[in-house]
Structure 1
Amino acid sequence: MNFSKIEEILKKHNETLPFSGTVLVRDKTKIFEQRFGYANRSEQIQNTMNTRFGMASGCKIFTAVAICQLVQDGILSFDSHLRDCIHIPFPNFDPNITIHHLLTHTSGIPDYFDEEVMNDYEELWKVLPMYSIQSPQDFLPLFQNGPMKFSSGDHFSYSNAGYILLGLVVENMTGMDFTTYVEKNIFQQCGMLDSGYFRMDQLPERTAIGYIDYDQAWRTNMYSVPVKGGPDGGAFTTVYDLVRFWEALMNNQLLSSEYTPILLTPHVKEDEHTYYGYGVWISIYDNAVFKYYVMGSDPGVIMQSSVYAKEKIHAHIIGNIGKGAGMIARKIDEILL
């Protein structure tokens, strides 16, 4: 990996669109690290390589791993019907929705934040205050009685609500709060000691505050996202913990050698080169996997975390502003392609 090219990419990016966050790129023998901006602008506390950042939807992969662990343990199957896994009324839902449909965004259920027709996440909290969202159950009023968008299994349509339901499945099947399950069975297993589902009003040390920039001014994202994250997004992590997670996943420490490939299988196609596994995006070129990655974006949160399949290179970009990670990741892709 040519790290001087990575440094040049970041220098050019920051000349026109300053990034705030951390970047880690690692190949088999070397590691590149760089940090930018402030974790706390008011106090001028700089981001460091150990700063924790929000992940937004990047943590859907944790939900998928949790479900795969339950399948591996024989508690449910990918073909289990939603109606048999949680006993909550969904009057307009297709009774044939399966766990597989939910994992692959092919269930057809209504989404509480439908990214195909909505772009302002903050608008949600005019209906349901963000401080009331503290568990998966709390999201239900936003989509529980809505109509189906399409027949289950018909096609891919990204669904945050689908992953909320998967979190409810984890809770019902284990008797544990979803976040407690993930922290115990994934974060602790990986040694991700800096990661967690922290409350926005109880952020621990070394956690970056998310910032929303507008009209030559800024504000924090404290009132723009749920007070506590859950199955569809909202965990906090560091670039080092992302390395630990991917290493544990790829080395079958979280799932067996039978179930890890199932999670990483390109189950559904989104476009020419983009597929979705279980909680993970997959880029394919020339009939071969180019990279596995997760990405997330919320007000004041941006991230993309990638592992390149052939080279085993890691590239983790996480920030506390609303843009930049995807652009930097695409430039790294171009180098490796």
Structure 2
Amino acid sequence: MSSQHTSTGIRLPRRALLGAAALGGAGLLTWGATRLAGAESVDATVARWRQEHAVGEQYDEIHQIMRDYMEAHQVRAGSLAIRTRGELRLSSGYTFAEDDYPTTRPDSLFRLASVSKAFACAAVHRLADEGVIDLSTPVFPFLGISTVALPGQTKDPRIDTVTVRQLVDHTGGWDRAAGFDPIFQGRHIARALELPGRVSKRDVAHYMYGEPLQNAPGDVEVYSNFGYLLLGLVVEQATGTDFTEFVTTEILTPLGVENEVFLGNTIEADALDGEVGYDATGTGLSAWDPYSDVPVPAAYGTFLIAECDSSGGLVATTAAVTALIAEYAVWGLGERSPGYYRTGAMAGTSTRATSLNSGVDWSYTFNARGGEANLNDLGSAINAAIVASDIGD
């Protein structure tokens, strides 16, 4: 879903949260299910550019960068927020779409994909800092998982040594290139386990307990979505509360953004109030209904959202993302980590959260998946525009 970067762009080795969304703006269903499912390209001959600002309307150069990207890549909905030393200096919603398409607002909700992992790290940091969990704790024994899920599986003897710290650092031993990414194999796992319906995150953890590791825990850093799914379970085991409830109470409420971050939903009909629609081409078989052979839109059912809360299942405003990374590390554990950024991507989603050395934190979200090179160029352009403006003063 994403990878660790410095702010210069160099790769380093490496449910609703309680309550309803108190946000304005039209939900995705107002535009029509058939058009969203098809995700046809924007018709540039009739598309209209719209901007709405909560703050920062005067930063024309920054807004133009967002407009240029969205028009060039036919992205209908985007959002950008910028904070300087915690103060919100820009919060904007952008729309490049047909007249009848809902207007994106500064407080519109977008799926965060792997930027959700920053919230998981904040939760783990809080628990470790308060002595509730020890980062050296072996994860599967802590979760009470000690047997394989299927008779044909063989436990890798190293799996009981994977620690909380290794999950955070992506050194748990899984390599999705050599094996597979269970986050996107919910349909297969549900059918293999003969579940009556879709998988839970604990079902995924139990299934993976019987799958081989590709590396010795602690030896190699390989990006792992599954490791962060396990971190959500660790938070729940340690606190006795739902992951999203803990994040709301202990992380978001002190930041004042408890009404701007929510657990997302998989299918289109369950979109939250104020949430954008997601444009993605193609269809696939359903993880939501794993025994159905009816194709579903790529962004609505081929993978699960809520069941992957700590790994990639949150939706939020960009202002809330910047509030988080102004206090907590955007990558890894600890307090604010200047010089790093985190990206996220899935069908219908591109996200980024960046903490600059200057004290500026910024985040964008889009309702379409973009190419990595194009998004890297966009990030560099935003960084340069921030430096050239007075927004960081």
TM bracket, shorter-chain basis: 0.7 to 0.9
Alignment match, 1:148: 213
Alignment match, 2:381: 331
Alignment match, 1:259: none
State whether residues 322 and 353 of structure 2, in contact with CA within 8 Å, keep that contact through their aligned partners in structure 1.
Answer: no
Identity score, percent: 19
Shift of residue 12, structure 1, vs aligned partner: 3.2
Deviations 1:53-104 (A, max 9, x none): 0011111121122122221222221222224422102621523322111110
Shift of residue 4, structure 1, vs aligned partner: 4.6
Alignment match, 2:275: 207
Q: For residues 11-26 of structure 1, what are the structure 2 equivalents within 5 Å?
A: 11-19=67-75, 20-26=77-83
AA aligned opposite 2:138 = H
Distance across 2 between alignment mates of 1:93 and 1:65: 30
Shift of residue 329, structure 1, vs aligned partner: 1.4
Q: For residues 81-230 of structure 1, what are the structure 2 equivalents within 5 Å?
A: 81-89=138-146, 91-94=155-158, 95-108=160-173, 110=174, 114=176, 124-128=186-190, 132-133=198-199, 135-140=200-205, 143-192=208-257, 193-201=259-267, 202-213=270-281, 219=297, 221-228=299-306, 229-230=308-309
Tell me the SS of whatever aligns to 1:150: coil
Shift of residue 32, structure 1, vs aligned partner: 3.9
Alignment match, 1:278: 333
Distance across 2 between alignment mates of 1:26 and 1:75: 31
Asked if 1:36 is matched to 2:94, the reply is: yes
State whether residues 106 and 154 of structure 1, in contact with CA within 8 Å, keep that contact through their aligned partners in structure 2.
Answer: yes
Tell me the SS of whatever aligns to 2:340: strand
Alignment match, 2:9: none
Shift of residue 212, structure 1, vs aligned partner: 0.4
AA aligned opposite 1:194 = E
Sort the Cα spacing of 1:123 and 1:27 in 2 relative to 1 into closer, same or farther, 3 A.
Answer: same
Tell me the SS of whatever aligns to 1:278: coil
Distance across 1 between alignment mates of 2:262 and 2:380: 28
Alignment match, 1:292: 340
State whether residues 24 and 34 of structure 1, in contact with CA within 8 Å, keep that contact through their aligned partners in structure 2.
Answer: yes
Moved over 6 A (4+): 116-121, 279-282
Sort the Cα spacing of 1:50 and 1:64 in 2 relative to 1 into closer, same or farther, 3 A.
Answer: same
Alignment match, 2:365: 318
Structure 1, unmatched stretches of 5+, are 251-262, 265-275, 283-288
State whether residues 74 and 96 of structure 2, in contact with CA within 8 Å, keep that contact through their aligned partners in structure 1.
Answer: no
Shift of residue 187, structure 1, vs aligned partner: 2.2
TM-align CA RMSD: 3.6
Q: Which has the larger radius of gyration?
A: 2
State how many pairs are aligned.
298
Shift of residue 116, structure 1, vs aligned partner: 6.9
Shift of residue 145, structure 1, vs aligned partner: 1.2
Distance across 1 between alignment mates of 2:206 and 2:234: 17
State whether residues 172 and 218 of structure 2, in contact with CA within 8 Å, keep that contact through their aligned partners in structure 1.
Answer: yes
Alignment match, 1:9: 65
**TM-score, scaled relative to structure 2:** 0.65
User: 2:352 aligned to 304, 310, 313, which one?
Assistant: 304
State whether residues 325 and 336 of structure 2, in contact with CA within 8 Å, keep that contact through their aligned partners in structure 1.
Answer: no
Deviations 1:123-159 (A, max 9, x none): 65355389724x4213225522111111111121011
Distance across 1 between alignment mates of 2:128 and 2:276: 35
Distance across 2 between alignment mates of 1:154 and 1:42: 53
Asked if 1:233 is matched to 2:312, the reply is: yes
